[in-house]
Structure 1
Amino acid sequence: MKEAGGDGGFVRADQIDLKSLDEQLERHLSRAWTMEKRKEEAAADQRGSKPPALAAAHYSQNRRQRRSDWEIDPSKLVVRGVIARGTFGTVHRGVYDGHDVAVKLLDWGEDGHRSEQDIAALRAAFSQEVSVWHKLDHPNVTKFIGAIMGARDLDIQTESGHLAMPSNICCVVVEYLAGGSLKGFLIKNRRKKLAFKVVVQIALDLARGLSYLHSKKIVHRDVKTENMLLDKTRTVKIADFGVARLEASNPSDMTGETGTLGYMAPEVLNGSPYNRKCDVYSFGICLWEIYCCDMPYPDLSFSEVTSAVVRQNLRPEMPRCCPSSLANVMKRCWDANPDKRPEMAEVVSMLEAIDTSKGGGMIPVDQRQGCLSCFRQYRGP
């Protein structure tokens, strides 16, 4: 499967969940890993002074040195209860070096259905993506603390003793955010809605985080409220880098459906080449969701949404009560033409210019007096 590209060469972002590792990346990294290993073995054979065991140890040592800048000390990690379960593992509460953390334990070989080559490719992809994530530093991006690649006889301390870690397990440690997902927060406020000032602040947090990623040539590719977390102060942080990637210099190198239906841009749904502007489109859908505290396309199936977004220019219904300043941001972001969508840096500027002093938030359900006039059918830009 090919992947997305943009101006000046961009990166696949990786989620804590790592649930959708790109197939092409798996194949590419598998080949690269195999070639590198063969080079090491050939070099050892030519030297003739290192037996195979020593050559393998030398190779492993080199790998450890290459990832030493993000690998953490397992003796400082305490794993606690499970807080979520994903495709490849579980997310736990934990403590690392005295700080509250979220710990993702990933096991790609537990079911016995993956070959050694498959597992090696997944680990290589894991290694590349955490090596990108650990360099990110922004208040609206979840802080990556470190990771542990699977190793034999690895014990992780828990409150009830020690947890023996199979050699095929990898561990990701990130800051723990007590506020839960943005989606959960919006669901809790579905009836009473959010004050307009809060809507704009949340949108700004998300926009600034995405603008930062794009400045680092990273395309997230799965922007949705479920992938954003809140801290204790209600600051939004991007937390999912499972399918993110560096933006390719050639747009035709990024194709194929990647993301979540309902948030995916028409060009992604259509299998056309795409770039970072697919994140801008998804942001526009998220902005509508933040304002309305509701789900877009509630009465349509996934297949209906896909067809209507691409062929009929379907977009979420725009509330009449939505201030034009915010509605304009949504419309520009979800334009069918990626070239007409603004860069995320421009979105930040547009949001910063919005006046929230006079209100303008979504009308709560119990204040509509049975009237649905707050909504009108909106079918396109």
Structure 2
Amino acid sequence: MGKLSIKLHDKCKNRKESSSWPLTKCFQHGSGRDDAIGITQEWGIDFSNLFIGHKFSQGAHSQIYHGIYKKEHAAVKFVKVRYNDQKGIPKSLLEAQFLREVTHLPRLHHQNVVKFIGAHKDTDFYCILTEYQQKGSLRVYLNNLESKPISLKRVIDFALDIARGMEYIHAQGIIHRDLKPENVLVDGEIRLKIADFGIACEASKCDSLRGTYRWMAPEMIKGKRYGRKVDVYSFGLILWELVSGTVPFEGLSPIQVAVAVADRNSRPIIPSHCPHVLSGLIKQCWELKPEKRPEFCQIVRVLEQLDQGCSFLPPKKLKQHPLSLRKCEDALKLFVEMRGKKLSPTDHTLCTILNACSSLAVLLQGRQVQSVVIKMGSERNVFVASALIDMYSKGGDIDEAQCVLDQTSKKNNVLWTSMIMGYAQCGGSSEAVELFDCLLTKQEFIPDHNICFTAVLTACNHAGFLDKGVEYFNKMTTNYGLSPDIDQHACLIFMQETEI
């Protein structure tokens, strides 16, 4: 097959990006031989039927245009070899990524994987055609929301699309290795499709090539042996982003993220408004040890059950947390200014500031706020005490949380539930279950709200206490007349899936 060398005419260079033109009319054809005959023969592009429109996206080494190919919309990705070579990006790397994509993508046929159309390899450029997704990437979609509320149903739908696509990809023996919102596309029906297989590998033949630090599993960062569970870790970060509305580790450079994850085992703080079942799923997906992360087939089953639950529950919005990280910092600054003016905070203000400290995981400032609480005598307020317990629990200081509980004279369901949840969050699931049972036996605690059972079921979920979890779940209705909602159903489902 003849070699196709491409040189843009000056008239094409001067065209506006919004215009369209036949690609062949902008190219001069030379002679020679293509070094990827197999690719061009099997997946060759008929350039006489390809029209190029505006550039709508750009990758690290590529530009992506909206095109028309054989009267169908297409995404046209160009990788300019010489241009990248001048920037210090070796041709061998670009060629390897191109060959990976055209090796893996054509054999993938799934509604949640972008459809491959064709490819061409030339001396000066590489070209890949895939189906065009008019909504762009998931990153673009999330940015366009501009902090608008996103429904729980939509979060679950998005998570299901990604999980189903990844379940299929793993079943084909392929590891994506760069799963992130930029590499997930949104079609006209708001359905997600996984794209960009430039660094994907066969599970049995993975090399040292790696993805993006911000979504990268710790074992991959450390250069250790890894498998398909690196994609599960990345999925956990995407699910966190869907819930939180912010980019993971915002404000940190890629290298800082790598150090935080690999050396300190750091993870983003899960917003308190996140449903417990999604919080539990996120935590399991980004577990340090890959063998503790679920398979995508398990994730799909859990999400499908949640999706069914959403169909008969009232619509629930996952609004941006009222105390986003920046607002938390602003709240602390205002509190310091308030104290400087010798103004006395109300109990409500103290709760808000303690929640801010909890979200920022700043126990030092939290202890300073606690000193104000004690000075004002506000520790007697159960909601302030509950906020203190929650802050210390999320900060990993369960002993200090227990001290707050012990020093509160009048304990009620709010405090007991906070303490049970605190144990569950700090790895003390056995202590949480023991405390719950002890309180029931002594009749010091009547679980009269669903959140009480969410706390103990979360503990059972983390510890794998399936029998106990089923017992508590059944007691909700039989003993206390409560109707389980999506959080309790999901905890039970996830426990059962973990047993598989």
The 5-angstrom pairing of residues 244-263 of structure 1 reads 244-248=200-204, 254-255=207-208, 258-263=210-215
Report the Cα distance in structure 2 between the residues aligned to 1:65 and 1:267, rounded to whole angstroms: 36
Q: Find the counterpart in structure 1 of residue 66 from structure 2.
A: 93
* Secondary structure in 1 matching 2:213: coil
CA contact (8 A) 1:67 1:127 kept: no
Residue identity matched to 1:321: H
Correspondences of 1:195-206 after superposition (within 5 Å): 195-206=151-162
CA contact (8 A) 1:139 1:209 kept: yes
Tell me how far apart the structure 2 counterparts of residues 307 and 265 of structure 1 sit (CA, whole Å): 12
C-alpha spacing 1:225/1:347, structure 2 compared with 1 (3 Å): same
**Is 1:343 aligned to residue 299 of structure 2?**
no
Please report the TM-score for the alignment, with normalisation by the length of structure 1: 0.71
Amino acid at match of 1:305: V
The 3 A distance-change label for structure 1 pair 140 and 212 is same
CA distance in 1, matches of 2:263, 2:315: 36
Where structure 1 has 5 or more consecutive residues not aligned to the other structure, the ranges are 1-55, 151-166
- How far is 1:262 from its partner? 1.9
Q: Which has the higher strand share?
A: 1
Letter aligned with residue 193 of structure 1: P
2:144 maps to which of 167, 188, 195:
188
Deviation at 1:246, TM superposition (A): 1.1
SS in 1 for 2:177: coil
Find the aligned partners of 2:76 and 2:213 in 1 and give their Cα distance: 27
3-state SS of 1:174 partner: strand
Cα shift at 1:276:
0.9
The alignment status of 1:106 with 2:79, answered yes or no, reads yes
Matches within 5 A, 1:6-85: 64-65=37-38, 67-85=40-58
Contact 2:271–2:321 (8 Å) recurs in 1: no
Q: Which amino acid aligns with 1:177?
A: Q
Deviation of the 1:254 alpha carbon: 4.0
Aligned position for 1:329: 281
Of 183-192 and 296-305, deviating more is 296-305
Classify 1:112/1:312 alpha carbon distance in 2 versus 1 (closer, same or farther; 3 Å): closer
Counterpart residue number, 2:406: none
**Structure 1 pair 120/336, CA: closer, same or farther in 2 (3 Å)?**
closer
User: For residues 191 and 73 of structure 1, do their structure 2 counterparts lie closer, same or farther at Cα, with a shift above 3 Å needed?
Assistant: same
Shift of 1:89: 3.5
Aligned match for 2:238, one of 268, 275, 286: 286
The C-alpha deviation readout for 1:38-60, integer Å capped at 9, x for no partner, is xxxxxxxxxxxxxxxxxx98xx5
Separation in 2 of the partners of 1:112 and 1:186? Answer: 33
Structure 2 vs 1, CA of residues 329 and 361 (structure 1 numbering), >3 Å: closer, same or farther?
farther
* Whole-angstrom distance in 1 between the partners of 2:323 and 2:291: 40
2-side partners of 1:204 and 1:245: how far apart?
A: 23
SS at structure 2 position matched to 1:109:
helix
Residue in structure 2 matched with residue 132 of structure 1 by the alignment: 104
User: Gaps (5+ residues) in structure 2?
Assistant: 1-30, 332-351, 362-393, 396-425, 428-500
- How far the C-alpha of 1:275 sits from its partner, in A, is 1.0
Matched residue count: 302
Larger mean CA deviation between 270-279 and 296-305 belongs to: 296-305
Matches of 2:254 and 2:87 in 1, distance apart? 30
Aligned residue for 1:104, secondary structure, equals: strand
Q: What is the RMSD computed on CA atoms of the aligned residues?
A: 3.1
Larger of the two Rg values belongs to structure? 2
Over the matched positions of the two proteins, sequence identity in percent amounts to: 34
Contact 2:66 2:74 in 1 (8 A): yes
Q: Is the counterpart of residue 233 in structure 1 residue 189 in structure 2? A: yes
- Supply the distance in 1 between the matched residues of 2:185 and 2:54 (Cα, whole angstroms): 19
Q: Quote the offset at 1:125 in angstroms.
A: 5.4
**Aligned counterparts of 2:61 and 2:249: Cα–Cα separation in 1:** 29
Instruction: Determine which structure has greater relative contact order: mean sequence separation of CA pairs < 8 Å that are 6+ residues apart, divided by chain length.
Output: 1
Amino acid of the structure 1 residue aligned with 2:120: I
- 1:274 pairs, out of 209, 226, 231, with 226
Match 1:319 to one of 254, 257, 271: 271
